[in-house]
Amino acid sequence: MNPHSIYDNSFFKFLQSRYLETFLEAQRAQWTILVPVEGTFRLCHVNSTFVGFHILKPSPLYADHFVCHRHLPATLVELDSERNVLHTTCGFPYPKHVCIVGEEIAYNENLQPYRILLICEPIHFPTPRRRSRAPHHAHSRQIRRGWSSELDPMNDSTDTPAPPSFEEAKAYLHSISVFSETLRVIEEKVEAFNKTYVIVPKFISDVVDRIRSIAETATQVLTSDSTSDPDKLAICVDNYVSGLAHHKVFNAVKSICGNDDADLERRLEFLRLSNVAPDMLGVQEECFHCELPISIVELASLNAKYTPVDKLWCIRRTLSSIQREVASHFVKCGADLEFGEDVPSLTAETLIPLVVVVLARSRPTSFSSNIFYIDHFCGVKDDFSSFTLSTFKAAVEFVGKYRGPELDHLSPRLLRKELSLVDLMEVTASINEGSAADSKSTAGSEDGYHSKAATRSNPVDSKLEQITRLIEKQTLDFHSKEEEHLRRLQEREPRASSSLNSSATSVDSNEEGSLLFSPLSTLRRSLRGQSKPN
């Protein structure tokens, strides 16, 4: 339960049940209802006086002044709208300042609005106050920022506990001894399915029904066998059965989506090699140009998950990580200060390219299959799960349709599975032309701009060239260092000098191309030869 959710709040629920008449009266009169954050009060303290303190009627004098509900005529509460604080003034034993965490506009039966304010703690305890064990300091910290997870859906969504994974479900089910016989039957049934069932691509819904039927029957039997929570049991059984049938089903899905997977993988590889960054995909705001390592690692674990539910939660966590990493980067780079009131938002236009970047860098294999698998085999999905799935589908579509200038100029070789001889020759010729253009431009001609364009037009090849140059340079450095080292050794080891001279001569006599030849290893060999008894 979200402690910042007004609608899940036990006081608010209590108000709607035990004090329904008072609540309806407040609704009809459009009074303001104060709801203390969950955990800052105990329900045993909630009585009619407590309720009376938390329903505010507007004062006839000032707009921001309120009086508490009946029984408490002499009270006065002031609302400081700028600082989001309520000040208790008259009628309270001592003045108090209570932060407002959130506000909701609700409507009565005549659809007239009234306010519900979520406050960080009760404005007054009618009984001697005993602090609950709730983590009040944590709340206060959040409240100082004005943070409200009730109104922050991603926090809300990510706080939703993940269902037990396949391994957890398996461990849980096997930990209950009365289930052992039923589990054996389930395993046999799934094994029979794995061995005998022929998956026909056009009838994938039949596979879904089969697996669901096995899980449902098993759940019914297991529920009657034990006193375990039926919902938890159903989730565990569902995940367990899906996990047992995973290899068969997922392999079939992979064969169905094979072409899509291959195409997506090539495109993602293309993007990865071109060091795709958010700005290349149209993300304008620099504050969103950030590294997303946690998200990449999370998504990279997708194929290690054995059930559709586990896979769904993997992509859910990835999406949430992206949002968290962006938020963190945003704060770190001081963008909130820079933008002031016009804070840019992470809209779908930004989110989809960021997901594409994560996809490209995490290099997931069979991603289209995974999406198909989750979509068809996950059963009922809550709204954030649907949103996650849609966002990833949108990202896949985006990759398929993206025609950015940077990508258009890349060599087409990665887009094909195999290169024909003709293609190979064409590509080689284009590389040669490119390098020729490079060398011309570096020769000091007026074509500095063209050289840059050429480099930009083929970043993969230029990258490869850079790498080759780097390796050559490092090999030369290494070689010279080794020679230096050998010279020193030669001075110390007069005996080894003759063999060293011969090896050095052999190195010198080599062509420059054979730089990987190591004189040190020659020396070692010669020393080893000397140490051998004659």
Partner 1 sequence: MGTENEYKVVLLGEGRVGKTSLILRYVHDKFNDRLDRTVNASYLTKTVALGMKRVDLAIWDTAGQEMFHALGPLYYRDSQGAILVYDITDEDSFRKVKNWVKELKKMLGNEVVLVVIGNKSDLESERSVPLHEAESYAKSVGAAHFLTSAKLNRGITEVFLHLCKEMIMKRARDGARRQSTGAGAQRNRLQVETSDDNAEPTRTNKCCSLI
Q: Does 5 bind partner 1 (CB under 8 A)?
A: yes
d(CA 184, CA 224): 17
d(CA 515, CA 325): 45
Segment contacting partner 1 (CB under 8 A): 142-150, 170-178, 225-233, 358-366?
142-150
**Binding footprint of partner 1, residue count (CB under 8 A):** 64
Q: Does 508 bind partner 1 (CB under 8 A)?
A: no
Q: Does 14 bind partner 1 (CB under 8 A)?
A: no
Segment contacting partner 1 (CB under 8 A): 175-183, 220-228, 340-348, 434-442?
340-348
Please, which of residues 26-55 interact with partner 1 by CB under 8 A? Answer: 27
- Alpha helices (H) in 274-420, listed in sequence order: 293-300, 308-332, 335-339, 348-362, 367-377, 383-401, 405-408
Pairing relation of β-strands 113-119 and 32-36?
parallel
d(CA 298, CA 294): 6
Q: Which amino acid is at 90?
A: C
* Alpha-carbon radius of gyration of the chain: 34
Distance of CA 504 to the CA centre of its chain: 56
Please, which of residues 252-281 interact with partner 1 by CB under 8 A? Answer: none
**Closer CB to partner 1, 151 or 162, in the complex:** 151
d(CA 305, CA 302): 6
Q: Does 74 bind partner 1 (CB under 8 A)?
A: no
Please state, as a whole number, how many other Cβ atoms lie within 10 Å of the Cβ of residue 387: 15
Residues in the chain: 534
Segment contacting partner 1 (CB under 8 A): 122-130, 162-170, 292-300, 338-346?
338-346
Q: Does 177 bind partner 1 (CB under 8 A)?
A: no
Provide, rounded to whole angstroms, the least separation between the CB of residue 368 and partner 1.
Answer: 14
Please state, as a whole number, how many other Cβ atoms lie within 10 Å of the Cβ of residue 1: 10
**Closer CB to partner 1, 148 or 441, in the complex:** 148
Which DSSP category does 162 fall into? P
Asked if 365 contacts 261 with a C-beta cutoff of 8 angstroms, the reply is yes
Q: Choose which of 168, 262, 272, 398 interacts with partner 1 (CB under 8 A).
A: 398
Segment contacting partner 1 (CB under 8 A): 94-102, 251-259, 416-424, 475-483?
94-102
Q: Does 195 bind partner 1 (CB under 8 A)?
A: no
Q: Does 345 bind partner 1 (CB under 8 A)?
A: yes
45, 47, 49, 50 alpha-carbon torsion, rounded to 10°: 50
Contact footprint for partner 1 (CB under 8 A): 5-7, 16, 27, 81, 84, 100-109, 111, 113, 116-117, 145-148, 150-154, 156-157, 282, 323-324, 326-327, 330-331, 335-336, 341, 343-349, 351-352, 380, 382-384, 386-387, 390-391, 393-394, 397-398, 401
